[in-house]
Amino acid sequence: MALATITDIKAAAADWLNRSDLTSQINDFYILTLSDVARKLKIPLMENVQDKTISSDEATAKKFEEPYAASNIISITDSKGNILEPVDFREYRQYIDDSGSAKVFSHTGGFIYIGSPPAANDVFTIQYKYLYAEGLFNYQPVTGGFAGLTNFYDLLLYGILMHACVYLKDDNRVPLFKQKYDELIIDVNRNIRLNGRIKDESIAVNGGPLA
């Protein structure tokens, strides 16, 4: 499977794990991976706030896509200022046929599910964390992927697989997942240093941006 978006990475992880009982945990493994990557590459997890208006298609589907590059949903608030309670997907399903005001949300598999299900044109405010490193692998909202470092996709994939190891005690691939993840951390760090050096040399030769 070609890795071109975050959704592709999570789907590839599911294929590698081949464990239907871990499907709902993959997003948790992804969040853990981003936090670990941010620390080891010394790249901060930034925070952002986004207003989301529910479309008619999203109201019918009872779900909508997570904000671009979101690693963790901090909070969701409705238009009246009520903060929704975060729950796992199993608990969310108890609200799927309810009516009335929204009470809970579940962030699973790249989508956000709100219960009671919202109607078209309902507005929610989403506060979330995302990974950002200017000029290296900024998130691309058009493609839903990262630009700059192609091996960053592999890093996220092996990070998810490595964090799943607690559920894979009898899987002989566990040491390989950790080894590949550690190697890719070194490789991406090397590319980051190279990218920074090229920028510094370019500025020295060509000058900085015009004020």
Which spans in 25-81 are helix H? 26-40, 56-61
What pTM did the predictor assign?
A: 0.59
| Residue pointed to by tokens 């590319």 | 191
Confidence of residue 160 (pLDDT cuts 50, 70, 90): very high
pLDDT digits (tens, 9 = 90+) for 63-74: 998 887 677 899
Q: Return the domain boundaries, the chain.
A: 1-43+145-191, 45-131
Average pLDDT over residues 151-157: 85
* Widest pairwise Cα distance in the chain: 64
pLDDT digits (tens, 9 = 90+) for 161-200: 999 988 887 788 989 999 999 999 998 888 767 765 444 4
pLDDT digits (tens, 9 = 90+) for 87-138: 999 999 999 999 889 999 999 877 899 999 999 999 999 999 876 655 445 4
